[in-house]
Structure formats: C-alpha cells, structure tokens
Amino acid sequence: MVQTTNRFFDEVARLMNDAAGAAQGVRREVETLFRNQAERILRDLDVVKREEFEAVKDMARLAREENEALKARLAALEAALGKTGTSTGTSSARPSGGISGGG
C-alpha cells in the first residue's frame, strides 16, 4: 500500500510540474503577443520614441542658443554701424514705406 501511495503522489507531482511548465509557456506567449500588439498600435498611432524626442529637443535647444547668439552679434554689428555710419547708410537698408508710402 505504501508503494501505491508513493507512486500516486509521484504522478500528481509530475502532473503539477508539467502543468506549471505549460502555464509558464502560455504566459510567455501571451506576453509576447501583447507586446507585439502594443508595439503595432503605437507604430500605427505614429507615436514618437523617447530617444527621438530627446534628440529633437536637444536640436531645438541648440538652435535657440545659436539664434540668441546671432541676435546679439547682429545687435552689436548694427550698433557699431550706427556709430560709424551715416544716417542715409542705415536708412537705406530698411524697406521703404511700401506701395502706399507716398513718393
């Protein structure tokens, strides 16, 4: 009787191990399917990846910094030109009154 009971528990334990292994396999398969579906949805929505966003953000920051530097340089050049140039030289660089600006 002891031998039969032992064999029964061995079979139950083996069955439980097989069921646990199958459950893990199913879990991995479901996770893979879910991940693929989520990636496909995000790709269809045309969502930007974090790395791409950070790269464009850095590019915009650099462009702003360069723009500010160029503004400062232009202001310095205009100030220097205003000090050394004549009044007609600086006004000729500006656009005229346009079509309605009498002549």
Q: How many residues does the chain have?
A: 103
Provide the 3-class DSSP secondary structure of residue 56: helix
- 61-81 pLDDT, tens digit per residue, is 999 999 999 999 999 999 999
Section 45-67 average pLDDT: 93
Handedness of CA 60, 51, 39, 34 (dihedral sign): negative
**At 68, which amino acid appears?**
E
For residue 58, give Cα distances in angstroms to 54, 68, 69. 6, 15, 17
Residues 6+ apart with CB under 8 A from 82: 90
Q: What pLDDT is stored for residue 9 in this prediction?
A: 87
Instruction: Please state, rounded to an integer, the average pLDDT across all residues of the chain.
Output: 82
Global pTM value: 0.41
**Stretch (H or E) spanning 15:** helix 2-45
All structural domains of the chain with their residue ranges: 1-47, 48-84
- 10-29 pLDDT, tens digit per residue, is 888 898 888 888 889 999 99
